[in-house]
């Protein structure tokens, strides 16, 4: 790293001193690696609160603790046993956090979420208000996926992805993803201090080596991509360091810091792009693709050449070219059959094709996020 690069890193990190709201995610592997890990994390979080910062914790560990409680020697494969392990372990997880924060006089509050809670806009906003109230009342929200009721259709995938969504949900100034290495390491094992483009580090990623957790570094980097596109800086850093959080917000050169990328997406558009799961594809022609990529156009029926999936009005879709390239995501104003009927239609043909009056827009630009 050149002297100019080092100065640039220091300048970027100094901005973290102003972070008022921090989301900290710790996974099962890191949390259960040492008997004092809960206490160490609680002490660091309490120190941030004493500086006037608010903190939200996203914590894994329920399934791993439930495995121990139920005498299972490995992570279950079937959904019912995973749910059973989560049910047995969640109370132990929250009790461990309560015990860790008690010496600091800090109350904790359990918050369990499924993807469906954040995929519905009203429930998303309700969750935001509840978390705001907890923070205002001086509690530390301990957020986990509700694995006891989660099924494949509503799972986040892992808590790294959940943490990225929570960072957007609560308006975080910094997202910290904890792991048991110094940060993202290159092929020589050296820590990368700063990442401006997530694609630069993809070649360095390795798969997890045990069955304690789900994430691994690849999941953390993908979560960093999601959060940085919302304008949130992300640090992937070492859970073993008992002073890690304080060092980060002091601007010290620890962990790997991912810079916010591009213009900050509005909350609703980030929700469309990175929280909702597409239920199908709308295929567009070259002219529509060019107009959409210009960033100011709605998708009109004339630009549609096909549709895939069982869609209802309001569903999230991918907008793709004929060769499968994704252009963006949005919310459709018609279901599958009506989109198929309207494909290629000019504005004066809409009523004839539908057999009723209808909107001249398939996806409005206010409901559209271009990749």
pLDDT tens readout for residues 46-74: 999 999 999 999 999 999 999 988 999 88
Look at residue 106 and give its three-state secondary structure. Answer: coil
Least confident residue range of 105-114, 161-170, 214-223: 214-223
- Tell me how far apart the alpha carbons of residues 326 and 328 are, in angstroms, rounded to a whole number: 6
Cβ–Cβ < 8 Å for 342, 348? no
Q: pLDDT band at residue 357, thresholds of 50, 70 and 90?
A: very high
Supply 189's token pair: 């094992």
Q: 180-184 — which CB contacts under 8 Å span 24+ positions?
A: 180/29, 180/30, 180/33, 180/238, 180/239, 180/240, 181/217, 181/238, 182/237, 182/238, 182/254, 182/255, 183/235, 183/236, 183/237, 183/238, 183/254, 183/255, 183/256, 184/217, 184/221, 184/236, 184/256
- Tell me how far apart the alpha carbons of residues 41 and 39 are, in angstroms, rounded to a whole number: 5
Q: What is the pLDDT of residue 327?
A: 95
Q: pLDDT band at residue 78, thresholds of 50, 70 and 90?
A: confident
Compute φ and ψ for 235, nearest 5 degrees: -115, 125
**CATH numbers and ranges of domains, the chain:** 3-267 (3.40.1160.10), 278-370 (2.30.130.10)
% of the chain surpassing 90 pLDDT: 64
Q: What does the mean pLDDT of the chain come to?
A: 89
With a CB cutoff of 8 Å and minimum separation 6, the contacts of 267 are 168
pLDDT at 110 over 90: yes
Q: What is the pLDDT of residue 234?
A: 96
Q: How much is the pTM?
A: 0.79
Q: pLDDT band at residue 114, thresholds of 50, 70 and 90?
A: confident
Q: Rounded mean pLDDT of 147-160?
A: 65
Q: What is the pLDDT of residue 213?
A: 45
Distance in angstroms between the alpha carbons of the first and the last residue of the chain:
31
- Tell me how far apart the alpha carbons of residues 124 and 118 are, in angstroms, rounded to a whole number: 4
pLDDT at 154 over 50: no
More confident residue, 26 or 216: 26
pLDDT at 17 over 60: yes
Q: What is the pLDDT of residue 56?
A: 98
Q: What is the pLDDT of residue 6?
A: 61
Q: What is the pLDDT of residue 157?
A: 62
More confident residue, 260 or 44: 44
pLDDT at 238 over 50: yes
Cβ–Cβ < 8 Å for 226, 158? no
Cβ–Cβ < 8 Å for 162, 213? no
What angle, rounded to 10 degrees, do the helices at 267-274 and 121-136 form? Answer: 120
pLDDT at 152 over 70: no
Q: Rounded mean pLDDT of 131-150?
A: 89
Supply 17's token pair: 């001193």
Element spanning 3, H or E: helix 3-14
Q: pLDDT band at residue 75, thresholds of 50, 70 and 90?
A: confident
Q: Rounded mean pLDDT of 124-153?
A: 86
- Tell me how far apart the alpha carbons of residues 288 and 311 are, in angstroms, rounded to a whole number: 20
Q: What is the pLDDT of residue 153?
A: 46
C-alpha 126, offset from chain centre? 18
Q: What is the pLDDT of residue 203?
A: 86
Residues 192-219 have pLDDT tens digits of: 999 988 888 888 887 555 544 445 899 9
Q: Please, what sign has the CA dihedral across residues 118, 183, 93, 63?
A: positive
Q: pLDDT band at residue 322, thresholds of 50, 70 and 90?
A: very high
Supply 354's token pair: 């539908």
Q: What is the pLDDT of residue 3?
A: 56
């Amino acid at each position: 790293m050149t002297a100019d690069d080092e100065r640039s890193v220091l300048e970027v990190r100094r901005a973290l001193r102003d972070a008022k709201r921090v989301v900290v995610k710790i996974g099962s592997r890191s949390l259960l690696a040492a008997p004092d890990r809960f206490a160490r994390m609680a002490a660091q979080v309490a120190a941030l609160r004493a500086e006037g910062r608010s903190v939200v914790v996203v914590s894994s560990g329920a399934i791993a603790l439930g495995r121990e409680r139920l005498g299972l020697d490995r992570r279950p494969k079937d959904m019912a046993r995973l749910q059973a392990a989560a049910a047995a372990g969640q109370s132990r997880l929250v009790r461990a956090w309560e015990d860790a924060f008690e010496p600091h006089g800090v109350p904790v509050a359990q918050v369990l979420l499924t993807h469906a809670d954040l995929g519905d806009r009203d429930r998303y906003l309700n969750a935001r208000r509840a978390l705001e109230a907890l923070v205002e009342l001086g509690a530390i929200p301990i957020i986990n996926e509700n694995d006891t009721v989660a099924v494949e259709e509503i799972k986040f995938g892992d808590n790294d992805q959940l943490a990225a969504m929570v960072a957007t949900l609560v308006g975080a100034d910094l997202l910290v993803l904890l792991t048991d290495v110094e940060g993202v390491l290159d092929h020589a094992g050296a820590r990368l201090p700063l990442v401006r483009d997530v694609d630069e580090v993809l070649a360095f990623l390795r798969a997890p080596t045990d069955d304690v957790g789900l994430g691994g570094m690849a999941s953390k980097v993908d979560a960093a991509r999601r959060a940085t596109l919302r304008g949130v800086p992300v640090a992937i850093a070492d859970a073993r360091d008992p002073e890690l959080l304080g060092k980060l917000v002091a601007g010290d050169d620890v962990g790997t810091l991912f810079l916010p990328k591009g213009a900050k997406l509005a909350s609703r558009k980030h929700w469309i792009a990175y929280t909702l799961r597409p239920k199908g594809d709308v295929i567009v022609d070259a002219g529509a693709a060019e107009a959409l990529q210009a960033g100011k156009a709605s998708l009109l029926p004339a630009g549609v050449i096909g549709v895939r999936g069982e869609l209802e009005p309001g569903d999230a879709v991918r907008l793709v070219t004929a060769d499968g390239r994704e252009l963006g995501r949005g919310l459709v104003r018609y279901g599958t059959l009506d989109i198929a009927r309207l494909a290629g239609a000019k504005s004066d043909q809409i009523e004839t094709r539908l057999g009723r009056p209808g909107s001249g827009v398939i996806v409005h630009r206010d409901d559209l996020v271009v990749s």
